[in-house]
Homo-oligomer: A and B are copies of this chain.
Amino acid sequence: MKKRQGMSEGFIDELHNVLGKSVVLSGADIDARYHHDLAGNPVPKPRAVVRPRTTEDVSVLLRLCHREGVPVTTQGGMTGLVRGALPNANEIVLSMERMNSVEEVDASAGVAIAQAGTPLQKLQGRVEQDGLMFPLDLGARGSCTIGGNISTNAGGNRVIRYGMTRDLILGLEVVTADGTVLKGLHKYIKNNTGIDLKQLFIGSEGILGVVTRAALRVFPAPAERQVALCALPSFGQVMALLKLARKSLGGDLTAFEVMWNAYYRQTVERVKGVVRPLPTHHPFYVLLEASGSDAERIRDGLEKMLETAMGDNLILDATLSTSNASVAAIWRIRDSSVELGRSFPFTARMGFDVSVAIDRMEEYADTLDARVKAIDPQAFTIVMGHVGDGNLHPSVYHEHTPDKHDEFEKLVYDLTGEFGGSISAEHGIGILRRPYLKMSRTEEEIETMRTLKRALDPKNILNPGRIFTV
């Protein structure tokens, strides 16, 4: 972003005066965490960090920034992967960290109301006290916030049963660019009263408004969770197993994760503390979870399904969790992708996040590997993903040079475009993937996004330059 002219010298002083010293940090009071990425790389220090206590604080801040044309970047747990929340030069950081309360849990209505800065794990824990579950779950649960989950439409491990974050939102309170508060904390599943404004703010990475509170769907906590790890001879059998699992487990199927041989083998061999429940020579491994409130039904259903799968030669081998500890141990394999990446010294790992039609996933993975090797015979790919949702996370490992990095990135996004896939299933666009947005959206779609941005944020102050430039 080019430097703005708007911010007058006294603007930070005005913020101090209006919002209070404890809300507005500047100069030496700004901690490094507000302007360093996950890897610890610094970006320029923001002019100020504003930490609102209330929705009214957010409204006051944005009204003033709108008046002056001062850009603002909103920060949640800073666990995003696309450089969406790191401040650009001259931006003010709006940190939601102090608005972190779960305000209400209503079991009979199936609703919880949380402030946007609430860490996901804190919300999960709070509703558990009432025998409930908020189904969204992802590796960053300890740090990521509800507001960040909403603005990125987070996916995670249970999408196959409960959908994306979007599907878990009943209502939102949002502050728009000029400080207007949209009080839309509706609690109803069914509410067809005009344009459903909340949808605009879910997944749009904070460029149209700042989410301050959310009414979220919560469900009865499952009494039982069982996990099976299966070994399969081919991707055709993986698809057949998915079909069988959907049929026989119905709504009790809560995860269907696939690991290509390289992922499983390398993880159990290289990552410390990971168990090896099955031998490492099989072509594919499926982690399959069933859960629900009727323990007997879950156990019987899963066992019966595995018997059928064995009988039909869909699976070569399988192991079933026998305790909470073994559930965790099996999930640990699937959740160790970051540790696996770090286990290869001198090698750069580039992680991707694409959606591809399931019946073309094998072809996609094979083509990717062949093209990667054509560029660099030493490079290799490791693939796994939420196959039940059509989502793959392929990684490319290579000796890092900036040229190669760009070449591999282009390769993956071009290939995804050729397959008619989505270049970002879960993680969003931010700044890092902006050059590739056009692989998944048409020019007319992007232009319509710009029209919306101009209408709702005419001075372009909210997370400017994220997703697209205006």
A residues with CB within 8 A of B: 106, 108-109, 152-153, 155, 159, 161, 163-164, 166-167, 176, 180-184, 186-197, 199-200, 202-204, 207-208, 220, 239, 243, 246-248, 250-252, 292-294, 297, 301, 355, 357-359, 386, 389-391, 420-429, 437, 440-442, 444-449, 451-452, 454-456, 467-468
Contact = CB atoms under 8 A, between A and B. Distances in A.
Contact of A192 (B190, B293, B428): B428
Contacts of A164: 189-190
A293 B227 CA distance: 21
Sorted nearest first, the 10 A-B pairs with minimum C-beta distance are A251-B251, A455-B455, A199-B199, A190-B425, A188-B355, A191-B422, A247-B293, A193-B440, A250-B292, A108-B359
A208 B455 CA distance: 14
Contacts of A180: 444, 447-448
Contact of A194 (B184, B186, B202, B441): B441
A311 to B, nearest CB: 16
Contacts of A390: 109, 188-190
B442 A182 contact: yes
18 contacts: A106-B357, A164-B190, A183-B442, A186-B440, A188-B421, A188-B422, A190-B422, A190-B426, A192-B424, A192-B427, A193-B423, A193-B441, A194-B437, A195-B449, A196-B202, A200-B452, A220-B243, A248-B294
A196 B456 CA distance: 15
A180 B445 CA distance: 9
Contacts of A294: 247-248, 250
Contact of A444 (B183, B195, B243): B183
A243 B107 CA distance: 10
Contacts of A440: 186, 191, 193
A194 B446 contact: yes
Nearest to A250: B292
Nearest to A253: B251
A194 B438 CA distance: 10
A123 to B, nearest CB: 21
A108 B358 contact: yes
Nearest to A293: B247
Given A250-B293, A252-B250, A293-B250, A389 B355 contact: no
Given A180-B444, A294-B247, A468-B194, A159 B455 contact: no
A226 to B, nearest CB: 14
Which residue of A423, A426, A440 has the most chain B CB atoms within 10 A of its CB atom?
A440
Nearest to A466: B194
Contacts of A155: 190, 192
B203 A425 contact: no
Nearest to A422: B191
Nearest to A191: B422
Contacts of A359: 108-109
A248 B192 contact: no
Which residue of A183, A195, A239, A390 has the most chain B CB atoms within 10 A of its CB atom?
A195
Contacts of A252: 250-251
Contacts of A389: 189-190
Which residue of A191, A355, A441, A456 has the most chain B CB atoms within 10 A of its CB atom?
A191
A182 B448 contact: yes
Contact of A448 (B197, B441, B448): B197
Given A193-B441, A248-B297, 19 more contacts: A155-B190, A161-B251, A166-B196, A180-B444, A180-B447, A180-B448, A182-B448, A183-B444, A186-B440, A188-B355, A190-B386, A191-B440, A196-B202, A199-B202, A247-B293, A250-B297, A297-B297, A452-B452, A452-B456
B108 A194 contact: no
Contacts of A468: 194
A460 B204 CA distance: 26
